[in-house]
Amino acid sequence: MDLAWNMQQLRCSAAGIEHLTRTVNDDHARWRPSPGRWSILEVLAHLYLEEQEDFRPRLDTVLHHPGRDFAALDPEGSLAASNLNRLDLSELISKFIGEREKSLAWLATLQMPSWERVYEHPAGPIRAGDIMAAWLAHDFIHIRQISRLHFEYVAYKSQPYVTRYAGDW
């Protein structure tokens, strides 16, 4: 596991997320393509919560606190319960970027981390390296999701015109 490369990718993916969301207007930020699907604002809120409560703390647990349980998480429930779709997008972007900077600063303190160290999860063992790899992959899952929301919003706002000339999604 190349920590420096992963840190650079986390920095770049955060910049990509910021770039994809910074100029979104309020209507676009809160728009949901259908009931039960997330808005761009909710995706960003999820990324912020995961940055705070999931990847950094859980990687720290595996690397530095063997035997300690992971804190319970409920990403879907957290979004629903806190009505995050009402938050200010610009403020949320800044909070996410701030949390990512904290994560990168913390990662920079790691010296020869034991990527093979294992957390015994009920679903099966998770290595520290698995969490690191998933952290970056998680960003790209949501970059894809934000891109799809942009595409669907263009189709929605362009009605009665259609986007098929652009090509297949």
Domain count, the chain: 1
| CA neighbor of 97 nearest in space, from 4, 10, 8, 2 | 10
Which CATH number characterizes residue 94's domain?
1.20.120.450
Q: What share of the chain is helix, strand, coil (3-state, %, to 5)?
A: 65, 5, 30
Range of the domain at 110: 3-166
Each residue's pLDDT expressed in tens, for the chain with a length of 169 residues: 999 999 999 999 999 999 999 999 999 999 999 998 999 999 999 999 999 989 999 999 999 988 777 777 665 555 555 566 667 899 999 999 999 999 999 999 999 999 999 988 888 899 999 999 999 999 999 999 999 999 999 999 999 999 988 887 7
